[in-house]
Each structure stands twice: as C-alpha cells, then as structure tokens.
Amino acid sequence: MTCCLTALLGNRAVYHRIDESLNMQFGKFHGWAFIALGALLLLVQLGLYFAPVQDTAKSPENPAPAAVHKTTPVPGVLGGLSLILGIGLYVNNRHKPQE
C-alpha cells in the first residue's frame, strides 16, 4: 500500500490533477453556499418590505400615533452581492476541458 501511495504522490501530474480537482470542488461548494445565502437574504428583504405596518399602542398622551414602516436595504444589498459572488465563483470554477 505504501509503495502505491509513494508512486502516486511521486507522480506530479497525478498530484496536480487531484489538487486541481479539489480546488474546483471547493469553488463549486462555496459558489452554491453564496447563492443560497444570497437567496435567503433576498427573501428576508422581501419579508421586511411586505411586513404589515405595526401600530404602536394608543396611549392617553398620544391618542393617534402615526404608523411608521421603516425598512433597511442592508439584507437586500448583501443578498444581491452574495448572489453575484456565488454565481461568479460557480461559473469560474466549473470543470474546464483538458488541454
């Protein structure tokens, strides 16, 4: 077994091919992870945007409080950037044809 392992590791072409394959799998995995994170953050942004307006409780001092609906664009912006990054990583690390 050790003889086969040293022969395999001694062959630089095979080692380079294995290393390159692992790097491509690494990029594909992280690409999909960023795509999933981006989609999740965009869904959070949609949830925040379409959430019903919450009226604050009426009190004797303030009989008719104004309904305020504040949203922040941070989840949407981060989601969009993450989605673009994930697609870029996935496309960049696809299996390239042998030369």
Q: State pLDDT tens for residues 13-63.
A: 555 665 666 666 777 889 999 999 999 999 999 998 888 776 655 566 666
Given a cut of 60, is residue 77 above it in pLDDT? yes
Average pLDDT over residues 64-92: 85
* Residue 98 contacts residue 49 (beta carbons within 8 Å): no
Given a cut of 60, is residue 97 above it in pLDDT? no
* Residue 45 contacts residue 75 (beta carbons within 8 Å): yes
Query: Distance (Å, rounded) from C-alpha 45 to C-alpha 85?
Result: 18
